[in-house]
Structure 1
Amino acid sequence: MTSTKKDAARRRKRFATLTCKPLESLDEIRTFLDNPPPWRTLCKDLIPHSKSIIRNIEHRQFCEPELESPETFCHFDPDSNEPVRYDVTVKKLPKTLVCHDMANGYHDDSKIEGTQTHDAYTFYNWAGIDIFCYFSHHFITIPPVSWTSVGHVHGVKVIGTIITEWAEGTKLWDAILSSESAYREFASAVVAIAKTMRFDGWLLNIENKISNPEKLLEFIRYLHKILHEELVDPVLIWYDSVTITGNLNWQNGLNAKNRAFFDACDGFFTNYSWSVKNVEDTAKEAGNRITDVFIGIDVWGRNFYGGGQFNTQEAVKIAHGAGCSLAIFAPAWTHEAIFEGGSNIVMPEPLNLYEQFMLRDRALWGSLWPYLNTRLPCRLPFQTSFCRGQGTKRWMYGEVLSPGPWYNLRHQQYQPNSAHGPHGYVLSSVDRLMEVSWDRKDKKGIIKYRKNLDSLRSTVTESIPRTNSSEAEKDESDSSIDDTQSLNIKESIIKFQDMPEKVPEVTQAVEVAGPVNTTAVETPNTKFLSSDSQTQPSGFKKFINRLKAIFKKNKSNSENHSNEATTSASQELTPSAPSAELKAKDKESDDFPAVTRESMIAASINLNLNTETGKTRWALAEVPMERPCLMLWLTDAFNGGSCLKVNPSDKISPEHRTIRLFHCDFKCHDTFIICIVTKTIMQYADQTLNIKLAMKNVKGDDLNVILMGKSLGMSASLTKESVGIVYSYPLNSETQTKFHEIRQYLLLNEPGFYVPLENQYGWQVRYHEVHVPESRLLEVNCRTTLPEGGILLGHFGICEKHENTDTT
């Protein structure tokens, strides 16, 4: 073997040992515990967050949040009332679990040293969730160290998955439950895995027949007991699958058939094929443990209330209204659908695939955010450069360390927790978007003027007529209709016979988020001109061809991504017939479902056929001239792979915004030291950024400290009873002695917090000292000095200075 081949083999072996992997058998579990991976020490411990949280639903500006009129959390009126905070030790509030299932897991995220790409999936809405579950179809799914670490940085519990399926699962559980010593050994092993890898518990998902259900219940009780003995505040969650008789029979809720498993665990995760009545009955059954029930929310929308995808909010409203917690399954749909070619997007050329993902992801989570709670950081020191664990380059203090793309979630830093707002996109019905697009006749974008945007967002969504199974069969019988007739646009909205001579080309981003279920789609008898008609304008040909492509892709996407995908509603909602092998192995169980689909996304035998779900075809449109308040910026950074571009206004929203960076709960015993790093953009060289600290003094009165971006004066003196608005100016050459004292204090007491003042790459580093004893910092907000022109925010940090600390 040549030296080159030997080197390559060594590299492959090295990277193989630096890859997080699942465990497939009991033997692999024993091997793992005998020789745990050396990189387990990279897993970070959970950072506690405040016991106070904010209910986002109370922020609402409207009676009921709607997809077409989403809430604005990112900027606000400074004179508005501050949000109410709830003490979770006094009042139990619903929680949110994200179950991350993406193509069976373990992709770029499993590499300890990361990969050389920047567009792999990342999750950044940590402030809105409480538990992150890493899911796959492997027996023991251990969360990769990257997810455990970044989740813990944001105060989120991270859990793995124990899953068994089909005949192999039955055989495996027969061995585990063969004796008390056997199930105790298995329970101790999975607890040891969680303790070794520093994650916080398990989702227990048994999707096969159990021969000894009484022994299974004993095992679960024992696992729960030792899990709570060995770990700090862990969670064990049961997935709605096996009943107390040992049969695989999804209940789509909590009832007498699965209540015993709920009583033995910390939480219960329902199957997805539920109805409104299922949720209501579940809430009643749970009683005072209602917030321990997580209603399954399938973002892909397979046999699911509302159809999922961009209409996922419809199902979330039902669960939220019942007082239950949420289990959001596979939100990486926003990323996976694009990269597998089923995105159904017509995008402007400037948007690459990752930008399309960001647009989709913001739209999805912006629609869900009103129904979540915001958790608050409280541990000092606190600092972030806003990196998301990926980038086209890598910077340190503004200097390029690596010129190529990279991805490593372990290096994601703390993310803003109130950044959602309806900037840059519109969600609406397909018909409404087409109407506005047609009226505008604008080649540069779907919507150009504020009045059109306001009109669109204020329009009530037109629901699609609900159909029953017979209607679905009729639709299927008409499936041979010509392609030019398949476009689903209401004749009353767009009358093609009255078209102008010149029809605009559709250049806006339009994504159809239709559900898999074909009964949710209208099929009006609107006939369109043939695409090869000589009387048709060329612009209209493109218009028709693009729309036809949307629906063709949508159909193909449904078939590729849903294991229930069919060409008719009746086929989709009927479980597939079991194979002969399955029939032979499981014929003794009358309750065993006749399905061949995989576990968590499988159709239940308790399917809610013909249930009215109010599905609506939603579309996503880009608004090119509208900018998010806090925009991800990948072309420059202070530390890591990205920073934030603060946009004080845009052409559609010209008002000067006060932008919220963080809700928080930082206690100041004596003095805060704050570090802020910004960089101007060439065409707006005079722009500066002021940071507003919204605080409460020792008496509970409001105190607003403005950290000025320019050194125009001396900072005001503060006491523990200061109120109103006071200004703090950065420490500079006129206060050089004071700055030296601050630097010396940080280097001796908080060495990881200090950032050098000098910078050769255009970044301005400034420090502020705020002396407000016995105060509490509740919000960190920002506002530019000029109403136009963005500025880069590269770093924000805050720590405490204790006056009695020795600085010599």
Structure 2
Amino acid sequence: MPTRRQFLVLSSTAALTGLLSETPASAADTAQPYASYWHPATILDWDPSTDRDAKYNRSTVPLARRVVPAGPANAHARPNEARVQALVAYAPTSGNPAQGSLDINYYATNYWQYIDELVFWGGSASEGLILAPNPTVTDAAHRNGVRVIGNVFLPPTAYGGQIQWVRDFVRREGDRFPVADKMVQVARHYGFDGWFLNQETAGGNTQLANDMRDFIVYMKKSGLRVVWYDAMTDSGSVSWQNALTARNRMFFEQSDEMFLNFWWSTQGLANSASLARQMGRSPYDLASGVDVEAGGYNTSVGWASIFPEGRPHVTSLGFYRPEWTFKSATGPADFYARDNRFWVGPNGDPANTTTTANWKGVAHYVTELTPVTTLPFVTNFNTGHGRKFAVNGTVRSTQAWNNLSLQDVLPTWRWSVTGSATLVTPSLDWDDPYDGGTALKITGTPQSANDVRLFATSLKLTGGSQFEIVHRTGTGPSRLQAVLRFGTTERVLDLGGVSGAWRRSVFPLGEHSGATLTEISLRVLPGAAVTAFIGRIGVTNPVMTPPAAPSGVQVEQVSRTNATTASARLTWTRSPGAIRQYRVYKAAGAERIFLGGTPNDAYFVPAIPLNAGETAQIEVEAVSEAFDVSPPARISVTGTP
């Protein structure tokens, strides 16, 4: 088969093995819970009450509502047309830690504003074919209003596929499909949104194709989304159509979307869109596949076939393996530069995508969306990985980490700066976080007032609403102003002179009660060189009482990882009300060491500083959406020899 086709079938066995830089220890040694995967026969035995990892694999973040910004960045992009689907492999099929790991090197997806749906790609014949997403991925995606889809990979026979697995997959019991029932149970228990069906095993017939169609109809009754991949046809054979045709329309007809194979043509996509409309479907339910696993933004793409200049988009866009930006990078800074170029374009500004380059960035075509639609809104610019972890300006851990469950909503526009002559440079900084692993950093010597557009919002304010910002500067005054926009009007807030320490400023917004806040920007005034760090921005309605502490904290298992460190499985009863996350610490006198966090009520602590025979006090506190913190719930853990 052609090389590009091999990317799709080989990635689950060969390429996936290189995504994590560490080799996980065995579950028996460390109690490490892993993300779930099955073959069609083994999923039938899955029961969340007996799967000891199931509680650690649950996502609890609801899917946020998103809207088109009142002032989109790019006049060329077209809103409410093409959607973007991303097929992403985060880790190996097996040995994939459920709740993050102690390593900064991770594909911390953070251009969610251009993604509508994320497919958790993976699977291999030797490990498993049905993959449930990590809860960390679902938590981050949902916070940004992006649906997450589990993956079914029924591989070609040349790569270990067995036609019997396909038959097992669609096997009926009366009017039921047992595997579908289990997949529905998995998705509901784990909190993700549907399944991507990639059937590439040869040897099928018409009956098997009809069974697969009926399987989709049956699963759709659950309310889950089903995405079909263009491979199996109505005859049961595998024949990539690279279009919507009479050969695969029976599957598209029953699915929510179809991912078209990579070898499409201009005419083929036009015909596909026309046929979709004839079927009473939106052409944007078809995602034209673009394979970027090998080349990222160096991939040659016939963009005009999908996005004809000056005319409506033809179909949606489907990226296969955009985590190239991470896998090809030399480190986190390089990854973020590559990711910015991939999504925003070579100019690094979503408002300016004019370039002679073939790859102009997704922002050139697709209008960004914002999930900042509900009060309270608070961000610490936490990207979901880091070299350290800070809490309210104090570093509580110097351990590298990744955990997308803790990721905040990041700036809508990265980076859009207006002004004349020399402009300041915004970036995300891992060296000096305020809360989490990263902060916003602005440097430069502006020769005019520079506006740094940050967040598109749609927040209806009340009489008690307030704006808060935490920032500091290296030396001298900050010369920073916050600019809040309400449609065509704006309010400018002077942040005053700050040097050295973090400073929290709060501005009442009661005079804007009933108005809708549509944008948050920062203005940097000219005068001299500036180095400013912004640790938090928020719009809240303050509450008088913090959240209640979680209760019933229990230690399920403690395991020795080395002479000075242990791991532990913890569970607790959730606090009442809306809780953003729970944070876990080791308390030692006045010192508190951050051990990790989750929105869930079960967390695997990968590394507790704990000598043999030592008893440590573990604290679990609830954190609200506005970052109000509960009193801690406590439990003791004793290190074993």
> What is the SS of the residue equivalent to 1:660?
strand
Q: Deviations over 1:238-296 (max 9, x none)?
A: 00001111110001111111011110000010001222222222222222410101110
Q: TM-score, normalised by structure 2?
A: 0.69
- Equivalent positions of 1:29-178 (< 5 A) are 29-33=44-48, 35-36=50-51, 37-40=53-56, 42-52=58-68, 58-60=74-76, 93-101=81-89, 104=92, 110-138=96-124, 139-167=129-157, 168-178=161-171
CA contact (8 A) 2:473 2:530 kept: no
Matched, 1:416 2:405: no
Matched, 1:27 2:47: no
Q: Deviations over 1:104-131 (max 9, x none)?
A: 5567xx4245322212221100111111
- Equivalent positions of 1:528-677 (< 5 A) are 629-647=425-443, 654-677=447-470
State the alpha-carbon separation in 2 of the partners of residues 57 and 270 from structure 1: 29
Which of these residues, 307, 314, 318, is aligned with residue 320 of structure 1? 307
Q: Deviations over 1:514-544 (max 9, x none)?
A: xxxxxxxxxxxxxxxxxxxxxxxxxxxxxxx
State the alpha-carbon separation in 1 of the partners of residues 44 and 380 from structure 2: 38
Alignment partner, residue 325 of structure 2:
334
Alignment partner, residue 334 of structure 2:
356
State the alpha-carbon separation in 1 of the partners of residues 182 and 424 from structure 2: 47
Q: CA deviation at 1:59?
A: 2.3
CA contact (8 A) 1:56 1:371 kept: no
For 2:151, the aligned partner's letter is T
Deviates more, 1:218-227 or 1:125-134: 218-227
> What is the SS of the residue equivalent to 1:762?
coil
> What is the SS of the residue equivalent to 2:186?
helix
Judged with a 3 Å threshold, the aligned counterparts in structure 2 of structure 1 residues 645 and 313 are, in CA distance, closer, same or farther, namely: farther
State the alpha-carbon separation in 2 of the partners of residues 113 and 222 from structure 1: 31
Q: CA deviation at 1:236?
A: 0.9
Judged with a 3 Å threshold, the aligned counterparts in structure 2 of structure 1 residues 370 and 313 are, in CA distance, closer, same or farther, namely: farther
Q: Deviations over 1:597-650 (max 9, x none)?
A: xxxxxxxxxxxxxxxxxxxxxxxxxxxxx9874201111011011101024656
> What is the SS of the residue equivalent to 1:388?
coil
Which of these residues, 781, 784, 790, is aligned with residue 521 of structure 2? 781
Alignment partner, residue 18 of structure 1:
33
Judged with a 3 Å threshold, the aligned counterparts in structure 2 of structure 1 residues 111 and 317 are, in CA distance, closer, same or farther, namely: farther
Q: Over aligned residue pairs, what C-alpha RMSD do you find?
A: 3.2
For 1:319, the aligned partner's letter is I
> What is the SS of the residue equivalent to 2:468?
strand
For 1:695, the aligned partner's letter is F
Judged with a 3 Å threshold, the aligned counterparts in structure 2 of structure 1 residues 664 and 169 are, in CA distance, closer, same or farther, namely: farther
Alignment partner, residue 264 of structure 2:
274
Judged with a 3 Å threshold, the aligned counterparts in structure 2 of structure 1 residues 202 and 254 are, in CA distance, closer, same or farther, namely: same
Q: TM-score, normalised by structure 1?
A: 0.56
> What is the SS of the residue equivalent to 2:465?
strand
Identity level (%): 21
CA contact (8 A) 2:209 2:235 kept: no
State the alpha-carbon separation in 1 of the partners of residues 531 and 178 from structure 2: 59
> What is the SS of the residue equivalent to 1:59?
coil
CA contact (8 A) 1:674 1:798 kept: yes
CA contact (8 A) 2:382 2:436 kept: yes
CA contact (8 A) 2:468 2:505 kept: yes
For 1:782, the aligned partner's letter is L
Matched, 1:372 2:362: no
Q: Which has the higher helix share?
A: 1
Judged with a 3 Å threshold, the aligned counterparts in structure 2 of structure 1 residues 57 and 157 are, in CA distance, closer, same or farther, namely: same
Q: CA deviation at 1:357?
A: 2.1
Aligned length: 485
Q: CA deviation at 1:776?
A: 0.7
For 1:409, the aligned partner's letter is L
State the alpha-carbon separation in 2 of the partners of residues 247 and 378 from structure 1: 46
Judged with a 3 Å threshold, the aligned counterparts in structure 2 of structure 1 residues 383 and 29 are, in CA distance, closer, same or farther, namely: farther
> What is the SS of the residue equivalent to 1:419?
coil
For 2:525, the aligned partner's letter is T
Deviates more, 1:15-24 or 1:289-298: 15-24
CA contact (8 A) 1:116 1:406 kept: yes
State the alpha-carbon separation in 2 of the partners of residues 657 and 391 from structure 1: 29
What stretches of structure 1 of length at least 5 have no aligned partner? 1-8, 66-83, 87-91, 302-307, 339-351, 424-449, 451-625, 697-701, 712-758, 804-808
Q: CA deviation at 1:195?
A: 0.5
> What is the SS of the residue equivalent to 1:790?
strand
Judged with a 3 Å threshold, the aligned counterparts in structure 2 of structure 1 residues 96 and 709 are, in CA distance, closer, same or farther, namely: same
Alignment partner, residue 790 of structure 1:
531
Q: CA deviation at 1:183?
A: 5.8
Judged with a 3 Å threshold, the aligned counterparts in structure 2 of structure 1 residues 679 and 48 are, in CA distance, closer, same or farther, namely: same
CA contact (8 A) 1:649 1:657 kept: no
Alignment partner, residue 629 of structure 2:
none
Q: CA deviation at 1:335?
A: 1.8
Matched, 1:208 2:201: yes
State the alpha-carbon separation in 2 of the partners of residues 797 and 268 from structure 1: 39
> What is the SS of the residue equivalent to 1:691?
strand
State the alpha-carbon separation in 2 of the partners of residues 409 and 185 from structure 1: 32
CA contact (8 A) 2:468 2:538 kept: yes
> What is the SS of the residue equivalent to 2:482?
strand
Q: CA deviation at 1:393?
A: 1.2
Q: Deviations over 1:294-329 (max 9, x none)?
A: 11011136xxxxxx5324484344323343111111
For 1:31, the aligned partner's letter is W
If asked which structure has higher relative contact order (CA below 8 Å, sep 6+), I would say 1
Judged with a 3 Å threshold, the aligned counterparts in structure 2 of structure 1 residues 275 and 51 are, in CA distance, closer, same or farther, namely: same
Alignment partner, residue 240 of structure 1:
230
CA contact (8 A) 1:54 1:373 kept: no
CA contact (8 A) 1:291 1:324 kept: yes
Q: CA deviation at 1:775?
A: 0.8
Q: CA deviation at 1:175?
A: 2.8
State the alpha-carbon separation in 2 of the partners of residues 221 and 707 from structure 1: 59
For 2:87, the aligned partner's letter is C
Matched, 1:393 2:421: no
Alignment partner, residue 403 of structure 1:
398
Q: Deviations over 1:646-700 (max 9, x none)?
A: 24656xxx55420111111111243421111001113xx211421111114xxxx
Matched, 1:691 2:482: yes
CA contact (8 A) 2:424 2:450 kept: no
